[in-house]
Amino acid sequence: MPAFVNNLLCKIALPTLALAFAACRPDQVEHLKDSKRIGIEAENWEVKRIMPRDLLHATRWAGDSLTATADSLLRRTLARELARGGVARALAFCQPETYGAVDSLGGVLKATAHRVSERPRNPAHQVPLLAEEMHPDTVRTIKRLSQEVFFYQRPIVLNNQLCLRCHGEVGKDISAADYALIKQKYPQDQATGYRLGQAMGAWQLSLQRPGVAEFWTMKTRKKWKEHKMPKLF
């Protein structure tokens, strides 16, 4: 091969090889973006069978999420209303199961929530409760009542000093004037005489299977984020 041809090939080949090696340098490799998210999404496409025990786990998760939201909103609401107008103003707000945010979350979970007690303020909420199921906030009662309905229960514990203003000892924690207001609104009231740390009753939830199954899917596939506290009224 003539010398000028060799020189020409060298002039073409050497820059080409240099570019190829340069393109392969580690500091110039473009990594896949959002690889963690892509991995989670790929896992979410995988078909997973939900077993009966999974649905029971999801019932507890869903019940804990809904009741914790309701309890947090109740504490915040009562603190605000007691500061604004005392027991006379706060009395109407001690029903977290009726809050819009609680009802909205219940709709997501296909759950209906009630608060019950053996010594209720409203006689319509009087329900016999087993003593072994009322250990302060450590016990959960989870059952499958039918193919489509699940049951959740946990104790309601008086663990906030503010609650004594309406549920403590009359004459000590509750003033005579405030108790007169309570009796006016709830003539058959039994919900006084409680102490800090004592179980006052229980949350009871009825949950539909589609909501329980969807919650299990959201939790296990990392699609559920902690429910953010909504703005108050």
Give per-residue pLDDT as tens, 127-165: 999 999 998 767 899 999 999 999 999 999 999 899 999
Q: Is the pLDDT of residue 121 over 80?
A: yes
What pLDDT is attached to residue 59? Answer: 96
How far is the C-alpha of 215 from the C-alpha of 200, rounded, in Å?
Answer: 29
What pLDDT is attached to residue 145? Answer: 97
**pLDDT over 70, % of the chain:** 74
Mean pLDDT score of the chain, rounded to an integer? 82
User: What pLDDT band is residue 69 in, cutting at 50, 70 and 90?
Assistant: very high
Which of 17-21, 39-43, 78-82: highest mean pLDDT? 78-82
pTM of the model: 0.75
At 114, which helix (H) or strand (E)? strand 111-116
> Each residue of 72-93: pLDDT tens digit?
999 999 999 999 999 999 999 9
How far is the C-alpha of 186 from the C-alpha of 21, rounded, in Å?
Answer: 84
User: What pLDDT band is residue 218 in, cutting at 50, 70 and 90?
Assistant: confident
Task: Report the candidate in 66, 99, 78, 73 with the shortest Cα–Cα distance to residue 226.
Answer: 66
Q: Is the pLDDT of residue 192 over 90?
A: yes
At 231 the three-state DSSP class reads coil
What pLDDT is attached to residue 35? Answer: 58
